[in-house]
Amino acid sequence: MNVVIEHMRIEDVPEVSKVERRCFSNAWPQSAYRRELNNINNNYYIVMRPRDERARELAAQEQRGARSLLPFRRRSPEDPAHPPIIGFAGMWILLDEAHVTTIGVTPEYRGHGLGELLLIDLFEEALRRGAEWMTLEVRVSNDTAQALYQKYGFTRQGVRRRYYSDNGEDAYIMWSPSISDPESVARLVGLKAALTERMRNSSGGCIESTGG
């Protein structure tokens, strides 16, 4: 699969909101995303789109009125078959700390390393902006997400009781080691190379990033 990562824009917000409701039971209101995007000095939000023939054909079918498996698409006069948003992520950056606020991938595209790819992009942007640490909250029941974060060096450092408003579930607070430490940088480079190779071998795909 070919994918592109782009900066999230205000006009993406309605589509991101629809995608997020497919990913999470406690989605943000659209006003929250608009507020975040109005402070680009301290916030960073991205979207992911497929760049493959299947996505373009599905989008073209939808424009012709056919039923699409990927219904959330932003039409563009320049590209009438513009691929849909299939993933998104964001974080706050304040001084030396980057706080991951969200990472989501639509259900039909999970299991291909796309969430991991979004996380890598956040790491790279945090480093570019001079952050020293990354932190996030994750549901105590979300073993898959925890395993991904641990793979990138995050460890549990506390618990936020009843953090999630939809069901009152607790959240683990996770922190990275110093992301600028040579060991952390080497781990990030190695994991990105391994993921890129896995994606290339599994589907002949490539990754394009315009978000950094």
Tens-place pLDDT, residues 53-69: 555 555 555 444 443 33
pLDDT at 193 over 60: yes
Is residue 119 assigned to a domain?
yes
Directed axis angle between helix 114-128 and helix 143-151, to 10°? 50
Question: Has residue 96 been placed in a domain?
Answer: yes
Decide if 163 is catalytic.
no
50 part of a folded domain: yes
Per-residue tokens: 8: 């999230």
Instruction: Tell me the CATH number at 10.
Output: 3.40.630.30
41 is a domain residue: yes
Catalytic annotation, pick one of 44, 149, 152, 172? 149
Residue with tokens 């995007």: 37
Q: What is the pLDDT of residues 73-85, one digit of tens each?
A: 334 434 545 689 9
Marked catalytic residue, from 20, 137, 152, 172: 137
In a domain, residue 174? The reply is: no
Structural domains in the chain (count): 1
* Cα gap 211→148, rounded to integer Å: 22
Alpha helix stretches (DSSP H) within the chain: 13-23, 30-37, 53-63, 114-128, 143-151, 182-203
In a domain, 60, yes or no: yes
**Looking at residue 2, what is its pLDDT?**
82
In angstroms, the CA 99 to CA 37 distance is 15
Q: Taking the complete model, does pTM exceed 0.85, yes or no? A: no
Mean pLDDT of the region 186-208:
80
Tokens of 94: 């304040």
Q: What is the CA radius of gyration of the chain?
A: 17
Confidence of residue 131 (pLDDT cuts 50, 70, 90): very high
3-state DSSP of 73-90: CCCCCCCCCCCCCCEEEE
147 in a structural domain: no
Residue 153 lies in a domain: no
Mark whether 125 is an active-site residue.
no
Residue 118 domain boundaries: 3-136+181-209
